[in-house]
Amino acid sequence: MTMAEGTHVENENSKEKDTARKARQGREYSGRSDQGRRYSGRTIRKLAAYMLRYKWLLVLAAVCTLGSNLFSLVGPKLTGLCIGAIEPGRGAVDFAAVGYYAAWMAGFYVISAAMSYGLQVLMLTISRKVVYQMRQDVFERLMTLPVGYFDIHQTGDIISRISYDIDTVNASLSNDLVQLLTTVITVAGALVMMVTISPRLVLVFAFTVPLSILTTRYITGKTRPLFRRRSAKLGELNGFVEEMISGQKTLKAYGREAYTQKRFDGRNKEAVEAYYQAEYYGSIVGPCVNFINNLSLSLISVFGAILYLAGSMGIGDISSFVLYSRKFSGPINEAANIFSELQSALAAAERVFRLMEEAPEPEDAQDARELLDVRGEVRLSHVSFGYQPGRTILRDLSLTAAPGRLIAIVGPTGAGKTTLINLLMRFYDPQEGEILVDGRRIRDLTRSSLRRAYAMVLQDTWLFYGTIYENLAYGREDADRASVEEAARAARIHSFISRLPQGYDTILTDEGTNISKGQKQLLTIARAMLLDAKMLILDEATSNVDTRTERQIQKAMRKLMEDKTCFVIAHRLSTIENADLILVVDAGEVVEQGTHGELMKKGGMYRRLYEAQFE
């Protein structure tokens, strides 16, 4: 196979995963469209379930809400009594009555303000607890999801859900929910007070309230999909930005700044347009409802004047009724104004809950057993696998790795070598065939015990923020300093660590960007050596070190890995000449196998690959 052909296969595999990701996103978005009418109720129920975990705080918040609004509702009635203490036409004023009512009014308003403050504190506390638990649940769900989920979802989009979307929910719970609770009580209380003052004037709202409800329902029905689209576009933008930032070196090396900026401009425009559309149409609700409320106030003023002239109402009652009508219509207008924010919060919560509803990695079989006393015999029997239905990567693959043997896997790019490792670790399950470890099917073993039996070093190194010692001892909590240093010496990294100002206590920042890539690779190799595992997987593990260091590492590793079964994926064929068995994989099939000498004598694909590297 030529280099061009190998690159083509690699691109095909990359396209498969990319196509799978887009297909998955398409299904998710279409699913959201299909459930447009149902998602709000389902999302609200799920949010309510979180809040009901703190039901006593909610009860206290309800008491504060009720008390604050009821005390506030007494004010207009007392205002009317104050105005009624004035005798029209004579100018006589009962100052004692006015002072009496004013004092009670001030007292009620102070109590209402205190309870309102207590309500805000309680709701902030509840929202903090809910968001903390929600974020905890999301992260726990992420830890249970299969590797395949992360293959088809952008990292930035996942981060957007756990940060921006949950923050949006937090803001809504702490502010918008309080506003809604206040609206319900204020509107109900004001309506009762207006009925006691003049049932006839209340009939004005029989026309304006249904008009407000119909207008709000119509507009929000149009805007709900816009807010879902806004959250989706922001997630896509975050995913693109995360991807481009992580690939800055490659981007600059290829001079693709202008091209990347153009792509960003397109995604940014889509996100801004989605945001504008949602906010623009969402903002129509407030002015429309405000117009209807002002219409109701005008009608009350006209009909109230008629009743006054007819002697059916006094000036004080009209004044109280007008104030209550403002308390009745004002919260409705405010609720309409925050409805767009509620729609945004519900759309964000929907994205969060969809992530929580993702199917976790399948549970182990009920009779699954722990993999104990591992010998390291691995056998694949007629294994077939593809990331997408109908697109097979490995076809009818069979091989046997005896305990303690070094198995090298070579072949053109895209031949299925890394896919084989994914199956061994059971990140994916084959569609056909069986994989056995020590004669037991891995489907009959617990995943945790199977994965603990392997130590793995990948080409893409991963180090976290912390000391070098903590990174080396990551997979073995009981490791002492001596064993960590022994592993570092074997990986030829001890002398480098010792020369650092803080030695093993040196902090690695931002995935180890303060050390070279080759040194990061050596650290991950030392970390794998420290594990008490009977099987080892090296996926291009020494690709970032020089040939001399690589040979030294391999000599040390062979000594440390006695009685361990090792799977090594290598492109530099000179490094696996001493392997016990070399498997040549092409198009998902083992086309050749044997030792280096045997394969060179055959003159097949292995020899062509080997000679191509030295031409």
Structure tokens, 104: 């009670």
DSSP β-bridge partners for residue 466: 508
H or E element, residue 456 = strand 454-457
| Average pLDDT of the chain to the nearest whole number | 77
Long-range contacts of 21-24 (CB under 8 A, 24+ apart): 21/151, 21/152, 21/153, 21/154, 24/152, 24/153
- Residue 298 has a pLDDT of 76
Given a cut of 50, whether residue 203 has pLDDT beyond it is yes
- Residue 404 has a pLDDT of 83
What is the torsional sign of CA 64, 67, 71, 76? Answer: positive
Given a cut of 50, whether residue 30 has pLDDT beyond it is no
Q: Distance (Å, rounded) from C-alpha 88 to C-alpha 83?
A: 10
Given a cut of 80, whether residue 615 has pLDDT beyond it is no
Given a cut of 80, whether residue 352 has pLDDT beyond it is yes
What is the torsional sign of CA 453, 459, 462, 467? Answer: positive
Count of beta carbons in the 10 Å neighbourhood of residue 254: 11
C-beta of residue 332 within 8 angstroms of C-beta of residue 187: yes
Q: Of 132-136, 195-199, 541-545, which one has max mean pLDDT?
A: 132-136
DSSP summary character for residue 174: I
What's this model's pTM, rounded to 2 decimal places?
A: 0.65
C-beta of residue 531 within 8 angstroms of C-beta of residue 559: no
- Residue 302 has a pLDDT of 77
Count of beta carbons in the 10 Å neighbourhood of residue 606: 23
Region 434-438: mean pLDDT is 91
Q: Distance (Å, rounded) from C-alpha 177 to C-alpha 96?
A: 41
Is 477 exposed, middle or buried, given 0-12, 13-18 or 19+ CB atoms closer than 10 A?
Answer: exposed
- Given pLDDT bands bounded at 50, 70 and 90, which one contains residue 27? very low
Rg (CA), the chain: 35
Scanning the structure block, which residue is given the tokens 């003052």?
Answer: 197
Q: Which of 117, 362, 344, 360 is nearest to 232 (CA)?
A: 344
C-beta of residue 519 within 8 angstroms of C-beta of residue 499: no
Residues 282-291 pLDDT 10s:
777 777 777 7
The tally of CA atoms less than 13 A away on the side-chain side of residue 166 is 26
Least confident of 70-84, 256-270, 545-559: 545-559
Given a cut of 70, whether residue 89 has pLDDT beyond it is no
